[in-house]
Amino acid sequence: MIKITFIGAGSTVFARNLLGDAMMSEHLRDAEMALYDIDAERLEESYIIINAMNQNINEGRARITKFCGEQNRKDALRDATFIVNAIQVGGYEPSTVIDFEIPKKYGLRQTIGDTLGIGGIMRGLRTITVIKDIAREIEEVCPNAWFLNYTNPMAIITGYMQRYTKVKTIGLCHSVQVCSEKLLQGLDMADKLDGRKELIAGINHMAWLLDIKDNNGNDLYPEIRRRAAEKNRIQKHGDMVRYEYINNFGYYCTESSEHNAEYNPYYIKSKYPELIEKYCIPLDEYPCRCIDQIEQWKKQKEEIMSGGLMQHERSIEYGSRIMEALVSGVPYQINGNVINSGGFIENLPVDACVEVPCLVNNYGISPTYVGKLPTQLAAMNMTNINAQLMTIEAAASCNRKDIYMAAMLDPHTAAELSIEDIKSMVDELITAHGDYMKEYI
């Protein structure tokens, strides 16, 4: 019997979407779906909702079980075929607030702070503290399971799992699926969507749209470059940073402009505060988003619990499609996050976690060879990879000096702060996070 274990099932909307997708697959709809979380209230809400969905769209075929607390996690994992990871260690409060407020005291501003920057480094380290225990339990009770990681920072968490554990891991992010669609729609080129062909590769949240052609094989990039430059010249909009990537580096990337504004030293600069307005950069976006999501969840919960949202259409998420391909053998192509040990991107390090096209079938998940990125794109990726690799080293060594170096290698942090302030900030963050960072004291 197939068993799908969802770790972090208190993320009700995401659990509902991904498990709803599985219920719509003839290969997965009879599975056991084991919900796990450390928050009893959120777990119970998800359990009620997933059960109701199972009855409503799946004729009750799936078996829904729930497990709460670390003492029951091993039972949730036992004999799992697939494990979906969607945890957020420390939550909005206290951890996200800490990750934003302490750096702000040092003059370091952020937008999202979940992928790179000092916020991403801290989030990665405290998450890996928990991931280490989960990995040991997987190796013990379900060693053949596939671990589908959706938790950010993607390259740091996935890279750690793939290098330091025996768990079969793939990192997944839906920014690839919507990348060219958003670009073409934003440039009034939606008529080019149908039948388009594209190649995307790089690293998570900074994978590059390397090639895009219409259904007749015509290169769309010359017109994209012209329209992106013109739109940034005459109009304020929410994707200006990525359009500037096109202007300055020649290519568009996968994740949003508010994310990419903090992955480099160019746009959030205390010496040039006018850049914030010029490029429409939403500082402190993620804490604001968290507050909004908490309020939205209260309303959504009422609708869902009253039966108003028990229908489901299969989403764009890769998760159920990967499970389906692994079980059925019918191939499916994804973009996945994998270790570059096969030299899939030639001019990035072999121990970097890269995002490349992958073929999925009953033999497993096979990354494909991309070759060399344009030099400027590999260089942009390397500025992020440096900090990612050093954060993974810090997670493995539990050495505070390695955390200092990770922060010193982060492009935005290094552009704004002195080495002394970076070390002082790291010390303060570790102290403030308390037990979440107890391995690094």
Instruction: Tally DSSP H helices, then E strands, for the chain.
Output: 17, 11
Tell me 361's DSSP state. E
CA distance 317 to 324: 13
Whose tokens are 């976690």? That residue is 353
CA distance 160 to 395: 8
- Out of 174, 205, 312, 412, pick the active-site residue: 174
Kindly give the pairing relationship between strand 32-37 and strand 3-7.
parallel
3-class secondary structure, 8: coil
Joined together, the tokens standing for residue 147 give: 């671990």
Joined together, the tokens standing for residue 383 give: 């500025």
Orientation of helix 12-23 relative to helix 319-328, angle to 10°:
30
CA distance 98 to 294: 18
CA distance 88 to 124: 10
Distances in Å between the Cα of 25 and the Cα atoms of 31, 326, 329 are 10, 13, 14
Distances in Å between the Cα of 434 and the Cα atoms of 72, 91, 405 are 24, 14, 21
Give φ, ψ of 281 to 5 degrees: -90, 120
Active-site residue, 174 included: yes
3-class secondary structure, 30: coil
Q: How far is CA 88 from the centre of its chain?
A: 11
Q: Which residues pair with 208 in a beta bridge?
A: 201, 253
By annotation, the residues acting in catalysis are: 174
